[in-house]
């Protein structure tokens, strides 16, 4: 046996645990790191993950340590997801409060105590700024910035004089959508709106792609909408992260139909508000905008009507005689036109009465010819098929085993199986020979090679 001094592994790990507990036992740390290798055990309500830090100049990992969360920490994670609208998952950058723990069985790990939602919300604001800069930088032909104002192709579109055919992107369960519909349907002027619903999820950054696909569906419908309205109810600031998505806002900026937003926020604008033609604070405000726009057009018409009436009365007073002449001329011209149209209607009526009879007679004749042809072709077809069947029956009879045996041929069987392989037959092999009228049992006495010249048939 060796004389090298040694201790048990458990003794060493216990000393490590005591040392770490002595240094870190009552301490906690706020750490900025990325989440990796995340799993969640629903039964135990445990979150398992790794906290990693990558080199800023590359994707190389410079630090890694295991982590877990349970109990109150799980509640903090749930609150984080609700507040930020961001799932706790791999590849997100977070600010978390942790404590250091060493367990002899499981090794060194960090216990999550809390997670800072404001850090993540600040990240969202940074991403929002970067997204705006990228939109302007990469899409200068239809997105420009002047000071704090953004000018897009969609903003440059002109509203139709009447906004009546409306496409709506919203959640089918959104209270904001119900407010929007109620405001339109109960407007005090009795305006009618044709609204097509394109339902989709309207919160969560991960649903931006689905929202974009519904936006594309509006475009691909080829319907001539007067406006597209994007609405949702209110919520936390993080609920609007989806409306800061780069691809979605790029599509909004160059969309060929004026877009009105009523996303339900009272303070901050989303990027979608900046890219769209017109932004309103709530779904109800979006509906009121449509109603006010149409009311403005109606008031213009009413003013125009009033002007026309006044000028008409003036012209009547000044040119009563002329109006009388025009009235008589209109009457005479109308009578002539009515007589002419009456004559044309009578001619067309006669044509409508006679033409169907001729068409019916021709179609009946064509149908009779078609029936005769079908009967003739059917009869010929079945005759040909019967001849083919008779021919194949004859071939089957000629090729039947019984007919072949009657011609002098025989079936050679070894061990109950038909054989034609001479290499498997040696002198002394018992064979069965089937003839047309008899079955012979025989034993091979000799075997020689056949070159095909011994038959003299």
- Give the pLDDT band (50/70/90) at residue 246: very high
Percent of the chain with pLDDT over 70: 92
Helix (H) or strand (E) holding 416: none
Asked if residue 413 lies in contact with residue 404, where contact means CB atoms within 8 angstroms, the answer is: no
pLDDT of residue 267: 57
pLDDT of residue 451: 67
- Give the pLDDT band (50/70/90) at residue 239: low
- Give the pLDDT band (50/70/90) at residue 168: very high
Neighbours of 70 (CB within 10 A): 16
- Give the pLDDT band (50/70/90) at residue 428: confident
- Give the pLDDT band (50/70/90) at residue 215: very high
Q: Tokens 């036992």 — which residue?
A: 25
pLDDT of residue 452: 60
Query: How does DSSP assign 321-340, residue by residue?
Result: HHHHHHHHHHHHHHHHHHHH
Percent of the chain with pLDDT over 90: 39
- Give the pLDDT band (50/70/90) at residue 251: very high
Q: Average pLDDT for residues 79-99, to the nearest whole number?
A: 85
pLDDT of residue 415: 82
Asked if residue 122 lies in contact with residue 241, where contact means CB atoms within 8 angstroms, the answer is: no
Q: Average pLDDT for residues 125-150, to the nearest whole number?
A: 89
What is the C-alpha to C-alpha distance for residues 371 and 362, in angstroms, rounded to an integer? 14
pLDDT of residue 388: 85
Q: What is the pLDDT of residues 383-407, one digit of tens each?
A: 888 888 888 887 777 777 777 777 7
Q: Average pLDDT for residues 316-344, to the nearest whole number?
A: 80
CA-nearest of 172, 220, 224 to 200 is 172
Asked if residue 227 lies in contact with residue 159, where contact means CB atoms within 8 angstroms, the answer is: yes
How much is the mean pLDDT over the chain? Answer: 85
- Least confident among 108-112, 212-216, 320-324, 443-447: 320-324
pLDDT of residue 244: 86
Structure token pair of residue 143: 């997105």
pLDDT of residue 204: 56
- Give the pLDDT band (50/70/90) at residue 423: confident
What is the C-alpha to C-alpha distance for residues 289 and 49, in angstroms, rounded to an integer? 49
- Give the pLDDT band (50/70/90) at residue 125: confident
- Round to the nearest angstrom and report the end-to-end CA distance of the chain: 97
**Does position 49 have pLDDT exceeding 80, yes or no?**
yes
- Give the pLDDT band (50/70/90) at residue 265: low
Asked if residue 426 lies in contact with residue 446, where contact means CB atoms within 8 angstroms, the answer is: no
Asked if residue 206 lies in contact with residue 91, where contact means CB atoms within 8 angstroms, the answer is: no
**Does position 325 have pLDDT exceeding 70, yes or no?**
yes
pLDDT of residue 298: 92
Q: What is the pLDDT of residues 277-295, one digit of tens each?
A: 999 989 999 999 999 999 9
What is the C-alpha to C-alpha distance for residues 38 and 81, in angstroms, rounded to an integer? 15
413 φ, ψ to 5°?
Answer: -125, 140
Query: How does DSSP assign 340-399, residue by residue?
Result: HHHHHHHHHHHHHHHHHHHHHHHHHHHHHHHHHHHHHHHHHHHHHHHHHHHHHHHHHHHT
- Give the pLDDT band (50/70/90) at residue 38: very high
pLDDT of residue 142: 93
pLDDT of residue 1: 58
Q: Average pLDDT for residues 227-232, to the nearest whole number?
A: 92
**Does position 375 have pLDDT exceeding 90, yes or no?**
no
């Amino acid at each position: 046996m060796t004389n090298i001094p040694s201790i048990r592994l458990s003794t060493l790990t216990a000393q490590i645990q005591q040392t770490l507990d002595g240094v870190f036992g009552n301490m906690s740390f706020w750490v900025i790191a990325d989440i990796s290798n995340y799993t969640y055990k629903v039964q135990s309500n445990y979150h398992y993950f790794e906290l990693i830090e990558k080199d800023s100049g590359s994707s190389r990992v410079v630090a890694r340590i295991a982590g877990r969360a349970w109990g109150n920490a799980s509640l903090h994670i749930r609150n984080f997801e609700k507040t930020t609208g961001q799932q706790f998952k791999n590849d997100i950058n977070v600010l978390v409060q942790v404590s250091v723990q060493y367990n002899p069985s499981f090794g060194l790990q960090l216990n999550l105590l809390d997670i800072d939602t404001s850090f993540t919300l600040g990240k969202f604001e940074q991403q929002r700024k970067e997204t705006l800069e990228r939109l302007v930088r990469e899409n200068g032909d239809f997105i420009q910035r002047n000071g704090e104002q953004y000018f897009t192709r969609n903003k440059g579109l002109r509203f139709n004089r009447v906004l009546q055919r409306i496409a709506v992107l919203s959640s089918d369960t959104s209270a904001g959508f119900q407010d929007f519909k109620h405001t339109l349907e109960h407007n005090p002027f009795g305006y009618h709106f044709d609204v097509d619903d394109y339902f989709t999820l309207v919160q969560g950054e991960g649903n931006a792609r689905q929202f974009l696909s519904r936006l594309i569906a509006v475009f691909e419908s080829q319907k001539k909408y007067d406006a597209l309205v994007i609405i949702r109810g209110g919520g936390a600031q993080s609920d609007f992260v989806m409306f800061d998505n780069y691809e979605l806002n790029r599509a909004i900026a160059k969309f060929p139909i004026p877009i009105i937003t009523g996303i339900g926020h009272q303070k901050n604008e989303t990027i979608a508000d900046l890219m769209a033609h017109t932004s309103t604070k709530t779904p109800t405000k979006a509906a009121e905008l449509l109603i006010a726009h149409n009311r403005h057009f109606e008031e213009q018409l009413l003013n125009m009507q009033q002007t026309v009436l006044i000028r008409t009365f003036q012209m009547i007073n000044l040119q009563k005689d002329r109006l009388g002449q025009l009235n008589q001329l209109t009457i005479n011209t109308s009578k002539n036109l009515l007589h002419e149209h009456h004559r044309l209607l009578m001619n067309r009526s006669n044509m409508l009465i006679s033409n169907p009879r001729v068409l019916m007679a021709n179609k009946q004749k064509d149908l009779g010819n078609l029936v005769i042809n079908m009967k003739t072709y059917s009869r010929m077809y079945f005759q040909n098929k019967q001849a083919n069947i008779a021919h194949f029956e004859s071939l089957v009879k000629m090729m039947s085993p019984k007919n072949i045996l009657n011609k002098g041929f025989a079936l050679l069987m070894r061990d109950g199986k038909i054989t034609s392989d001479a290499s498997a037959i040696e002198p002394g092999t018992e064979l069965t020979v089937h003839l047309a009228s008899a079955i012979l049992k025989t034993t091979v006495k000799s075997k020689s090679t056949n070159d095909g010249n011994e038959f003299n048939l």
